[in-house]
Structure 1
Amino acid sequence: MLILLPPSEGKATDADGPPLDPAGLSLPELNPARARVLEALVQACARDDAAELLGLPAGQAAAALARNRALRGAPTLPAARLYTGVLYDNLALPTLDPAHAAARIVVFSGLWGALRLSDHVPPYRLAMNVSLPPLGRLAAFWRPALVEALGTPGGLVVDMRSAPYAAAWAPPGPAVAVRVFRERIVDGTPRRTVVSHMAKATRGLIAHDLLAAGVDPGTPRELLKAVAGLGHVAELNGRYLDVILSD
C-alpha cells in the first residue's frame, strides 16, 4: 500500500538542519526537474507581480517570497515536520513508526515534485496549480518526471491528494481515491454533501489508522474491509472509497 498526500499550504518555519542537498533527496530521478523549478521560482520571486503570480494572500506574501528567494541556503527540516494543518494534525506522524510511515507515504509538491517524509527541505511556498514562467502549469510540467520516478507501485495506491496534485500523476496500477461526504436526514431522506475542512481531517485520520494498524490492503475491497474494521463508515463507488460522516 502506498498513500499519496497533498502538501499543506501552511508549513512549519522552525527549520534547523543544514542547507538543501538535492543529492540527498529521495526519488533522485526528479532532481533535474527540481533544479529547473527551483531556479524558476527564485527568479519569479524577484518580479514585481510575484505575489499575484504565485497566488499568495496579501498578509503572507512578503514572508513567503523572502523564504522562496533564500531557498538555496536556507536551513532545512524533514518533510514529516514541514507540513502542518488539519490533515497532518490528524495524521499524527509523531505517534507512528517513522520508518513505516516513510515507506508508505509520498507527499506531492509543486516545488519538489514528490517527497518522502524523511527528505530534508527548506520551508517554501509554491502550489501545484501555479503557472510558473517559463515552465508553465506545474502539474503538466511535473507529469513526465513523476511517471519516470514513481513507475508502477507494487501494491494498492490510496490517493488522498487534492485535484491539482492528482493532476500531476495518475497511478498506473490499482488505485482508490478517498472522498468524504456528510450524510444528513432531510425529511426522512438521507442526503449527502461534500465537505472540505472535515475531508482533510478525515483523510489524515484514515491514513493514520491504516498505518498504525499495520494493514496492507492489496485491492480496493480489502481497503474497504480494513477501513470499516477501523471504525469508519465507507463504501466503494468505482475508483472511489467514499467515507461517510454523519451528525
Structure 2
Amino acid sequence: MKIGLLLVEESPAGVQQLIQTVAFQLIQEHELFSIEINDQSEVKVQSYQKEQILFSQEFEAPMIRPSHLRNEVDLSIFDQFDQVIVLGEKSNVGNDLLEKLTVAHLHIPLIDEDTGQNLGYDTALDSIVDQILKVKDTINSMKYDHPRIFGIQLPEELSENLIQDVVVAVNEHRIQNMLELEGIATLLKQSIANGKTYGFIIFDEHLNPNEVVKQLEQYVAVDWKYVQVDQSLILGPYPSGADRLIANKLAKKIIQWCLSHK
C-alpha cells in the first residue's frame, strides 16, 4: 500500500517525532512518501527509507517540510497513493481539497483531542520563558546608571493565548500598541521605586524596538536593550515531554486508521 503524508502548517515541535513514529511502523509492510507543495504549486514526492528515519531520530533532522496551498492544487498528484494523511489546520488546506480527494484520506489537526492542547504549544512556551529567564539572570548580576529595560520581540504569528501565558509566566509587561507605553512607564516607575532595577516589555514584530524605546524615554529614563526571539528556536527540534506525548497519541491514531483502511 502506498501512503502519502502532507503537512499544511508550519512544523511545530513534535511533528517530526510524530512522522518518525508513523514512518518506522508503516514502512515495515507499506510504502510511505512525503508530499511537499511550494508556493508555485510545484510538487515534490519523496519515499521514506529506514535509514532516513533512523538518521532523523538520531540527529533530529526534518522528515517533512510544510506545504503552502495558496493556489489551486492539481488533485491528480494524489492518484498515485492508496491513502493520504493531511496534517495541520483544515483552514490551511484551502480550495476544499479534502472534499475533492477521491483516494482514502485522513485529516489530523495537530491537537490533543483529550486536552485541546496544540502540538508544540508547551515547547514554545518553555522556550520563550527560558530565554527571558536567562536574560533575567544576567541582569541580576550587573548594575546600571538607569533601570535596565529589556524588550522581548516575539514572532508575529504566535497565538494570543501563548503570548498571554508567557507574560503571566514571567510576570512582566506586554504592549500591543505604542499608546500603552505611558501606562507601562508608570508601572515601571513604581517597580523602580520599590527597589527593582530592571523590567521587561514584551511585544511582537509589528512594533519597532527603536520606536518603542524612543517613546518610552519620554516618560522614564532607561538603559534599553532588546532581544528578538527566533521562530526556529520556538519550533525547535527538541519537543517537551508534553509535546512528545501528544505526538505519539496522534501517531497512534494515524497508524490505526491506515491499518484499518487497507
Whether the TM-score (by the shorter chain) exceeds 0.5 is no
TM-score class normalised by the smaller sequence: 0.3 to 0.5
- TM-score, normalisation: structure 2: 0.31
- TM-score, normalisation: structure 1: 0.33
